[in-house]
């Protein structure tokens, strides 16, 4: 008996591919490249929020705003335990590294500027983490799955785009922290299909980095926050 013909894979319109590639190039290559080269001098947080609002608008037009609902996320069993154990291990590693290489900066921020440190701990999740997760996880995964597939390429692409943006801080520490961090966050987002876990996870790592003295590599350079 002859085998039944298999259904053909759905074709992606060329116009869709071209539009996504152009959008990707502008958001994740052109604008970060201009910032890194110093040819675009814009306040960082307003630029970040402008990009995130565009991403929200596009997701809404695509009927994908449900990706952003935090009320009933699909959290995998044991997920919080995994997040906390991984965070503890990485924190120990980074604290030990800073203690060896730059002992003078270890915990200098909270000890020397306690009020400023407390303000960063409170404002960082809302002002920085939320727009980044909208852009590099919810938007990136939904919009560029058609280009990168649904496998490792999507995770790696998200992490590299996240790290490339941090070239604007003009130091390799920022990139060295954010590429593996982006891969970790992308993995968490994919596992849970929502932003709640990854926002909490990103907040933990960001606050830890600022606390142990590495935040200067993510908040200095030629960029202004406001």
pTM: 0.88
Give the alpha-carbon dihedral of 186, 96, 125, 48, to 10 degrees: -70
Q: Measure CA 80 to chain center.
A: 19
- Give pLDDT tens digits for 134-170: 999 999 999 999 999 989 999 999 999 999 999 999 8
Instruction: Check the CA dihedral 12-16-20-21 and report its sign.
Output: positive
**In a domain? residue 15:** no
Judge whether 161 lies within some domain: yes
Name the residue among 28, 25, 27, 33 with its Cα closest to residue 167. Answer: 33
Range of the domain at 214: 78-226
Task: Tell me how far apart the alpha carbons of residues 28 and 65 are, in angstroms, rounded to a whole number.
Answer: 21
* Alpha-carbon span 158 to 105, nearest angstrom: 30
Count of the separate structural domains present in the chain: 1
Q: How far apart are CA 222 and CA 40, in angstroms?
A: 10
pLDDT tens by residue, 112-130: 999 999 999 999 999 999 9
Q: Is residue 133 part of a domain?
A: yes
């Amino acid at each position: 008996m002859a085998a039944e013909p298999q259904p053909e894979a759905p074709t992606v319109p060329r116009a869709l591919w071209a539009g996504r590639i152009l959008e990707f190039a502008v958001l994740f290559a052109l604008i970060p490249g201009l910032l890194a080269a110093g040819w675009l001098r814009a306040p960082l947080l307003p630029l970040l929020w402008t990009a995130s609002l565009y991403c929200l608008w596009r997701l809404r037009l695509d009927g994908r705003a449900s990706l952003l609902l935090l009320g009933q996320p699909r959290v995998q069993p044991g997920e919080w335990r995994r997040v906390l154990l991984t965070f503890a291990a990485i924190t120990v590693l980074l604290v030990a590294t800073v203690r060896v290489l730059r002992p003078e900066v270890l915990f200098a921020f909270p000890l020397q500027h306690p009020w400023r440190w407390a303000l960063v701990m409170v404002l960082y999740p809302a002002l920085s983490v939320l727009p980044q997760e909208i852009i590099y996880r919810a938007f990136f995964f939904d919009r560029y799955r058609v280009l990168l597939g649904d496998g490792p390429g999507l995770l790696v692409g998200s992490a590299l785009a996240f790290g490339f943006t941090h070239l604007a801080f003009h130091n390799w520490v920022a990139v060295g922290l954010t590429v593996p961090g982006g891969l970790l966050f992308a993995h968490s987002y994919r596992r849970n299909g929502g932003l709640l876990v990854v926002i909490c996870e990103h907040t933990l790592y960001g606050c830890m980095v600022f606390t142990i003295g590495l935040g200067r590599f993510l908040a200095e350079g030629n960029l202004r926050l406001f």
